[in-house]
């Protein structure tokens, strides 16, 4: 059910010719209210695509009527023409929906540099088609339309005490060329205002999408949007809502990791015993971004020396010679020295668990990543040529 | 001539059985004086191998009589036994040379975790063999003995006004598993004290080895050592000496880059128009560490969008929409938008030049890196298993 699981939302996914395969490539999500509250978080890359520049302005007043998303072109580094394309797309949707263009968010994903006249014409047509085919059952079509190299659509739903949260996601995990982008739209029928949505969304993405670090490359187009219709009439318990949102975001993150392009392992890096959560995140991320470690996991090699070499580059508080490392339940390193033989670790399953105990404090964090494979190199060297 | 090009040095390279191939694997470099001045720079990784821990202490008084280097084992994460191995190696050399163990530096390279009884016995034997076969012509043997996955020994020599600098290097570029390490020994017969050597060495490595960033992975064993014998009797012009040292270090860096394991392109990333040299380095390094960019170059794809996406993650001062990018002489991006078609760029030569003009200031820096290839993944996934 995706983004239409919650009451008050309609969605559609249509094929506008942006994908050469003829698959669906434009999604529209509309909030029918009564509330029209929205919040979004964006890529922190300073090189932001045109739809990001547009949406940052549009969401700033906390009112969001609709989101138009396209695959088949990132509309990034396409200059002022590209910005006008995002603007015109919002205007086209707004006109057809009878709302203000400033309340329509735009998301794009696909090859960087794509955003010519033909692209614009197809996005505008797709937007019109999408608005014409909006439906309270359109969530799955929308989830399909935002797919790029994804092999399956990713959706998740949580329900509690009269309210519902539903979401769709694409991308991330083993980022492909210009297809690197993670796009997420989450909807709820709970009664929450824009400031509440913003706080919940930032808290949830911080411990979910922000900790999915497949290849360390940051997209120009990442956007995660949360919309509230208030259609359930229920004011949720704030803690229960946040917990459900965190849970849903983690489910979507795991689905992105599982479908990571070219990956043969989905690696969960759990860091314990840190002096602070920031330290735990820094340590986990240093391992997630270490090509030598990632190549070793691809080779089913429980190479804990590369874990220690990676975390030794951080500023986190710990003694490299007082760190324990386990892989898939086998303690291969105790206090910075060898423990069980690495051959005892079975790395043939796709799901891989690396546990790092810094033995310094009580904080912890988990980072999700993937291995570095031949297929990753192939996909990312061959795609755009 | 390597480390024996300068007067006052002897060297040797012997086979002690550390390499399964039977190739040379222990090198000894001895300073016959009259000066015994030395300086060294070490990996900034907090997870430092035992030879690093030993050498940091040994060099601290500025007196260095000899350096013993081995390939075939990194002696890292091998606990106190491993530290004792480094200590015993220094003692063995010192005893045979009639000097103090505290004036003998130790360098090791090879697989992390290697450092057992057999390793120790072979290193000690190799050290004795090396001391016994020291020669004023032994520089090339020493350069061969420190090779790991290197396909050729790397040496360089500079001469001027009565003094000589010679050096040998191994490793780096497309780091292999435990073989990641860069080891460099440079000798000179100029009359310079330890403080002068230290200042010159830090200045030279900052603009040479520190700007070779093949795969972003920092070794536990990196060490660059500079020794002065004073045997020429010539006090060099400080500027001339530093320039020659910088030049020599850059030659060795380029040789490491050219021999990078698994690489099909040697990429020179030149950043111009930066507000500061630090900004230029940060920008260049962000590109050098971007897997998507590196995979694109492997695929002969002049994907400038990935360059902008990479530099957009930095804190350097510039406007992403006022940046120019050229590849191999073709301006593919002007002011953050498309210029010449990327198909015009010929990326078939191994030598690849990326020019990034930030159009902000007058500072510049050049970073050397390599592409991300199938062979890189293969070498680093398969090596230790």
Residue of B4, B181, B187, B225 with catalytic role: B181
Measured between CB atoms, does A337 come within 8 Å of chain B? yes
ipTM: 0.81
Decide if pLDDT at A175 tops 90: no
**Dihedral class, residue B159 (left if φ above 0, else alpha if ψ from -120 to 50, else beta):** beta
Structure tokens at A91: 């205007």
First to last CA, chain A: 36
Say how many C-beta atoms besides its own lie within 10 A of residue B348's C-beta.
10
* Alpha-carbon span A154 to A134, nearest angstrom: 20
Q: Which residues in chain B touch residue A313, judged by CB atoms under 8 angstroms apart?
A: 44-46, 218
The mean pLDDT value of chain A amounts to: 92
Residue A292 pLDDT grade (very low, low, confident, very high; cuts 50, 70, 90): confident
> Quick count: other Cβ atoms within 10 Å of Cβ B242?
17
DSSP of B248-302: HHHHHHHHHHHT-TT-S-EEEEEEEEESSHHHHHHHHHHHHT-HHHHHHHHTT--
**Beta bridge partners of residue A12, listed in sequence order:** A28
Closest Cα of chain A to B185: distance in Å? 23
Contact map slice: B 161-200 vs A, CB within 8 A: 175, 177-178, 180
Q: Is A337 in Cβ contact with B78 (below 8 Å)? A: yes
* The CATH number of domain A2-258 is 3.60.70.12: yes
CB contact under 8 A, A113 and B178: no
How close is the nearest chain A Cα to the Cα of B310, in Å?
7
Is A48 annotated as belonging to a binding site?
no
Let me know if domain B266-382 sits in CATH 3.40.350.10: no
Pairing of strands A363-370, A351-357: unpaired
Per-residue pLDDT of chain B (385 residues; tens, 9 = 90+): 799 999 999 999 999 999 999 999 999 999 999 999 999 999 888 888 999 999 999 999 999 999 999 999 989 988 899 999 999 999 999 999 999 999 999 999 988 777 899 999 999 999 999 999 999 999 999 999 999 888 899 999 999 999 999 999 998 554 433 345 789 999 999 999 999 999 999 999 999 988 887 666 678 888 999 999 999 999 999 999 999 999 999 999 999 888 887 889 999 999 999 999 999 999 999 999 888 899 999 999 999 988 998 999 899 999 998 999 999 999 999 998 889 999 999 999 999 999 999 999 999 999 999 999 888 888 777 654 3
A298 touches chain B (CB under 8 A): yes
What's the order of all strands across the beta sheet hosting B154-160? Answer: B37-42, B223-228, B182-188, B163-171, B154-160
CB spacing of A291 vs B296 below 8 angstroms: no
Q: How is residue B209 annotated by DSSP?
A: G
Classified as helix, coil or strand, B329 is coil
Do the Cβ atoms of A144 and A169 come closer than 8 Å? no
Interface test with B, best of A79, A119, A177, A305 (most B CBs within 10 A): A305
The minimum CA-CA distance between B192 and chain A, rounded to whole Å, is 33
Give the list of residues 6+ apart from residue B233 with CB closer than 8 angstroms, or none: B162, B191
- pLDDT digits over A323-371, tens only? 999 999 999 999 988 899 999 999 999 999 999 999 999 999 999 999 9
Q: Which of A375, A377, A379, A383 to mutate: most B Cβ within 10 Å?
A: A377
A98 CB contacts (<8 Å, ≥6 apart)? none
CA–CA min distance A350, chain B (Å): 16
B300–chain A Cβ distance below 8 A for any pair: yes
pLDDT of B300 reads 93
Interface of B with A in 45-104 (CB under 8 A): 45-48, 76-79
Residue spans of the domains in chain A: they are 2-258, 266-382
A348 and chain B in contact, CB less than 8 A:
no
A385 → closest Cβ in B299, B308, B310: B299
Model pLDDT, residue B180:
56
Question: Is residue A382 scored above 90 in pLDDT?
Answer: no
With CB atoms and an 8 Å threshold, state whether B46 touches A312.
yes
Side-chain-side CA neighbours of A78 within 13 Å: the count stands at 28
Overall size of chain A counted in residues: 385
> Is the Cβ pair B180, A216 closer than 8 Å?
no
Contact (CB, 8 A) for B275 and B292: no
The answer to whether A178 and A112 are in contact (CB under 8 A) is: yes
B76, B298, B380 ranked by CB distance to A381: nearest: B298
Query: A229 versus A376: which is more confidently predicted?
Result: A229
SS (H, E, C) chain A: CHHHCCCCEEEEEECCCCCCCCCCCEEEEEECCCCCEEEEEECCCCCCCHHHHHHHHHHCCCECCEEEEECCECCCCCHHHHHHHHHHHHHHHHHHHCCCHHHEEEEEECCCCCCCHHHHHHHHHHHHHHHHCCECCCHHHHHHHCCCCCCCCEEEEEEECCEEEEEEEEECCCCCCHHHCEEEEEEECCCCCHHHHHHHHHHHHHCCHHHECCCCCCCCCCEEEEEECCCCCCCCCHHHHHHHHHHHHHHHHHHHHHCCCCCCCEEEEEEEEECCHHHHHHHHHHHHCCHHHHHHHHCCCCCHHHHHHHHCCCCCCCCHHHCEEEECCEEEEECCEECCCHHHCCCCCCEEEEEEECCCCCEEEEEEEECCCHHHHHHHHHCCC
Q: Give the model's pLDDT for residue A172.
A: 58
> Which residues in chain A have Cβ-Cβ distances shorter than 8 Å to B149?
none
On the question of pLDDT at A25 being above 90, the answer is yes
Which member of B291, B301, B310 has the closest CB to residue A215?
B291
Q: In chain B, what are the helix, strand and coil shares in percent, each to the nearest 5?
A: 35, 25, 40
The reported pLDDT for the residue numbered B179 is: 41
B350 touches chain A (CB under 8 A): no
* pLDDT of A346: 97
- Residue A377 to residue B217, Cβ atoms within 8 A: no
pLDDT, tens digit, 9 for 90 and up, residues A113-123: 778 999 999 99
Partner B, chain A 310-329, Cβ-Cβ below 8 Å: 310-314, 320
Asked if A178 and B218 come within 8 Å (Cβ–Cβ), the reply is: no
* Chain A touched by B341 (CB under 8 Å): no
Query: What is the CB neighbour count within 10 angstroms for residue A290?
Result: 24
| Cα–Cα dist B79/B64, whole Å | 25
Q: What confidence tier does A216 reach under pLDDT thresholds 50, 70, 90?
A: low
Of A79, A218, A374, the CB nearest to B374: A374
Chain B residues with CB under 8 Å of A305 CB are: 76-77, 111-113, 178, 220
Q: Is A181 a catalytic residue?
A: yes
Distance of residue A301 Cα from the nearest chain B Cα, in angstroms: 6
Compute how many other C-beta atoms are within 10 angstroms of the C-beta atom of residue A21: 8
What is the DSSP-derived secondary structure letter of residue B101?
Answer: G
Handedness of CA B359, B360, B364, B365 (dihedral sign): negative
- Return the pLDDT at B182: 87
Q: Tell me, yes or no, if A117 comes closer than 8 A to chain B by beta carbon.
A: no
Q: Is the pLDDT higher at A218 or at A225?
A: A225
List the Cα angle B179/B184/B189 in 5-degree steps: 165
C-beta separation of A28 from A93 below 8 A: yes
User: Are A216 and B310 within 8 A, CB to CB?
Assistant: no
Name A167's Cβ contacts closer than 8 Å, sequence gap at least 6: A2, A3, A155, A156, A157, A184, A185, A186, A187, A248, A249, A252
Q: Could you tell me which residues of B are annotated as the binding site for substrate?
A: 148, 170, 181, 261, 380, 385
């Amino acid at each position: 059910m995706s983004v239409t699981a919650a009451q008050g939302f309609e969605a559609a996914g249509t094929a506008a010719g942006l994908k050469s395969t003829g698959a669906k490539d434009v999604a529209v999500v509309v909030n029918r209210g009564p509330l029209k509250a929205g919040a979004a978080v964006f890529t922190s890359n300073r090189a932001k695509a045109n739809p990001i520049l547009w949406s940052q302005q549009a969401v700033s007043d906390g009112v969001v009527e609709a989101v138009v998303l396209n695959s088949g072109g990132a509309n990034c580094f396409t200059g002022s023409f590209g910005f006008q394309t995002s603007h015109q797309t919002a205007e086209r949707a707004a006109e057809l929906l009878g709302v203000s263009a400033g309340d329509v968010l735009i998301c794009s994903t696909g090859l960087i540099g794509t955003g010519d006249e033909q692209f614009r014409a197809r996005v505008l047509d797709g937007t019109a088609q999408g608005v014409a085919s909006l439906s309270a059952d359109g969530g799955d079509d929308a989830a399909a339309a935002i797919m790029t190299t994804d092999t399956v659509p990713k959706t998740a739903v949580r329900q509690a005490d009269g309210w519902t949260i539903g979401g769709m996601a694409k991308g991330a995990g083993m980022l492909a060329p210009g297809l690197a982008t993670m796009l997420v739209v989450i909807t709820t029928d709970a009664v929450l205002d824009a400031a509440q949505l913003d706080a919940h969304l930032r808290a949830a993405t911080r411990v979910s999408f922000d900790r999915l670090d497949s290849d360390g490359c940051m997209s120009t187009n990442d956007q995660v949007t949360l919309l509230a219709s208030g259609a359930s009439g229920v004011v949720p318990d704030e803690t229960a809502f946040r917990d459900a949102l965190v849970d849903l975001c983690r489910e979507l993150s795991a689905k992105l990791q599982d479908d990571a392009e070219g990956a043969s392992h989905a690696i969960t890096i759990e860091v314990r015993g840190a002096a602070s959560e920031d330290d735990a995140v820094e340590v986990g991320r240093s391992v997630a971004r270490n090509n030598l470690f990632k190549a070793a996991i691809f080779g089913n090699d429980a190479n804990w020396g590369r874990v220690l070499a990676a975390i030794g580059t951080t500023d986190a508080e710990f003694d490299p010679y007082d760190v324990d490392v386990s892989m898939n339940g086998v303690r291969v390193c105790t206090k910075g020295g060898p423990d069980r033989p690495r051959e005892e670790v079975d790395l043939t399953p796709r799901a891989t668990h690396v546990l790092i105990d810094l033995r310094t404090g009580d904080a912890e964090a988990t980072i999700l990543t993937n291995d570095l494979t031949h297929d990753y190199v192939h996909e990312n060297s061959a795609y755009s040529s």
